Structure 1
Amino acid sequence: MSLVTLRDIETAKSRIEGFIKKTPIVSSKLLNDWLGHEIFFKAECLQKIGAFKARGGCNTVSWLVENGQKPAKIVANSSGNHAQAIAWASKQFNIPATIFMPSYSSKVKIRATKSYGAEVVLCETRDIADAKVKAAAAEKFTYWIPPFNHEQVIAGQGTAMFEALNEIKDVDAVFAPCGGGGLVSGTMVATRGLSPQTKVFGVEPLNANDAAESLRKNSIQRLKSIPDTLADGVMTMAVGDITFEHLKKLDGIYEVEENRIIYWSQWLTHLLKLHLEPTSAMSMDGVCQWLKTQKTKRKVMVVLTGGNVDNATQNAIWKEDCLMEIPRL
């Protein structure tokens, strides 16, 4: 197994910069004053397709074409943003794409995937979608791009933090959501290469904590059922063998309860004036858990992963008002 390197991320950055956006870094003075620390947010919710996944998808498709391996068809499995990313990236190179998605995926993400020209096959469960994509990948001249367990996908995702740390220096810690581990793996490689003293943390829902369990038991643990979490971007059933090797090098992983995901979804939307998925906002609770252990002022970078939210999720986020409780450590 070959792990991703900083050189892979640098190459990916050059490969995709004509396709993706260099997203802004934003902050809230009010939030910084309340918490007593400097928090910066890499706004990948403003990326192409509304999520960081455009980076990994575009890098992998571009890599195939660059190496003379342009397939007749691309297939992928995803519950949302990776589906859109592969549909969009495939369209850039006029390659037909078929995406296998669980039927419980966000309706906004299903419609968006179709709008980029991909064929969408809805499956009753994530496991069925995974089985169908494996069968489809066996067809001649077909290439399967998985949502996280692929070196080029990881390298592409790592370009977000590569950009961020070249813009903001002397960061004490970086935080990113962890589903299958592709973003956190790329974030870890970019951070270790550019700023070795900076700590790297993953964040996942307590209700979908397979990565944390895997690290505790030092073996990949699989969720027994579809996780009940509002953070639909991290509903993967297990991390991959490649991402797990990267995750072992993290400084830690924080688990977040659903009420805190809702709390930070409301507050970050309010403070940053950005449209954010619960998965994006979730990391902020991990930030607070870490800051409570710190005795000096810290500078933190957070990846805001996406902004694709359907009506049902919005209603769940705003069912009760959390803005009466001001963020404090």
Structure 2
Amino acid sequence: MANPKNQEKSGFSDLRRAARLSIAPMMDWTDRRCRMFHRLLSRETLLYTEMVTAPALVRGGALHLLEFSPEEHPVALQLGGSDPKELAAAAKFGADAGYDEININCGCPSDRVQSGAFGAILMQTPDLVADCVGEMRAAVDVEVTVKCRIGVDEQEPRDILPVFLEKIRDAGCRRVTIHARKAWLKGLSPKENRDIPPLDYDLVHEMKAAFGDMHISINGGIDSLEQAQELLAKGLDGVMIGRAAYHQPVDILSAADPVIFGTGAVISAEQAVRAMLPFIEDELQNGARLNQITRHMLGAFAGRPGARQWRRRLSEEANKPGAGPELVESTLNEVIQRAA
């Protein structure tokens, strides 16, 4: 686990800059191995963990869920929960582990999350979310942020969202990411909730105009770096990208530093894959299986010659006993030869 005493941590202003582009927290996807690959493609982009539930940390003692590599900074921990005291205790665990930011999930629509009285259902109780923000801010020195929807079920977003933002702002939250879709808690699956409710980017722009003192990022349906640039140019403070960054990581992240942040150079897929090899070796020595790492790298060559071969060989062979970094390196060489 990263030791916060041995690393330089980002200040709030640094995080606001990093949040110009962020990668969404995605269950079963944005684990620390995925984040390492993403970090090798972009030094600047803000990365998020999968959602970790506060009860798992506070009641279950599952502190291993907080493990990450120091190279991942800037990196934020997303928490799920609805009990202010418990979230504050979980936030303290996260801050002590070295995370740069603690984020509250007010956007996930899954049944499992609803049954725990957190996620998107919290859009119905802005006062409770404000209490959670207040307790967490009192417990930690790092920034506490919120990720939310524009509303749920029969709520009218233009009525509920300003109230929600005002409540959390008054509690001290100064940075929020808005998924520009409603969540339908009854009748739609989590997958359908990512696609079926219509996007309302205009409403998010309206919220930025109304809450000019808040750093507002937009999420939902963004699938290119060019689209991110357009949204930033229209006045939003940040853009969060989800599935596109996972499935086409190079398309989103390889040019993010020079294009979005004005630093560094474009990183190629080949460079990032080769840079992963020492990390892969270390992970295998610590008991990991190769496919636990390479499953997050299958989209490295999406849209390029050799992409199918890259996906097929890693999918078929990375789970075999004894599979190691030499499989990744030899497959990479095959892809390079094909492209020559």
Quick check: TM above 0.5?
Answer: no
TM-score by length of 2: 0.27
In terms of Rg, which structure is larger? 2
Report which structure shows greater RCO (CA 8 Å, sep ≥6).
1
TM-score by length of 1: 0.28
